Amino acid sequence: MSVIRLGDEAPNFTAQTSEGEINFHDWLGDSWGILFSHPADYTPVCTTELGTVAKYKSEFEKRNVKTIALSVDGLSSHKSWIKDINETQSTSVDFPIIADEDKKVSNLYDMIHPNADNNLTVRSVFVIDPDKKVKLIIVYPASTGRNFEELLRVVDSLQLTAYHKVATPANWKNGEDCVISPAVTNEQIPELFPKGHKEVKPYLRLTPQPNL
């Protein structure tokens, strides 16, 4: 069983999905990716989650993010379940759901936590950048649905901080002030952050979001 940490390369795999066979790295291409697991098909919380992801399609697309789900059930079950999701959530699931009956991918990504359940995956989330590096890992218990607004917020932060020398403070949302990286000297600030900055403390310097 793998243990994946931030900064590791996301393990590659080939798998059958509701949209055909994929090679994970090839499927990601130059996009960011969100891989998220579900305990099983036909579970109520999962049904709402997959419907929510489908409704957020345009938000993920404008961030260059591909979404892909996983369940330990098979393809025929997935395809029938998708019909239920579309019906009950008033949407159209148009992203792949991995069929992981042999738990190959689940074990590769350490999605099965025996003290929670020996057979079903917990609600794992992996955000992966275009270099195939793992940038975020969140693990929820099976009973708690994910907050996809929070995942969009995290992606906004990850994409911003990947290309600018800033970090994002607590409860930050896209458009709000950012924290200047401690590695940036005061002398460098005017060139790097022409919008100006506010020094709260020598180690806490705020600047308007630089990519807006």
Catalytic residue chosen out of the listed positions 15, 28, 35, 46: 46
The tokens for 145 are: 């649905």
Name which of 117, 60, 80, 72 is nearest 98 in CA terms: 72
**Alpha-carbon distance 116 to 155, whole Å?**
28
Q: Please check whether residue 211 is in contact with residue 163, taking contact to mean a CB–CB distance below 8 angstroms.
A: yes
**Alpha-carbon distance 38 to 121, whole Å?**
6
46 catalytic residue (yes or no): yes
DSSP per-residue letters across 130-141: TTSBEEEEEEE-
Q: Please check whether residue 6 is in contact with residue 113, taking contact to mean a CB–CB distance below 8 angstroms.
A: no
Q: Please check whether residue 40 is in contact with residue 171, taking contact to mean a CB–CB distance below 8 angstroms.
A: no
Q: Which residues are catalytic?
A: 46
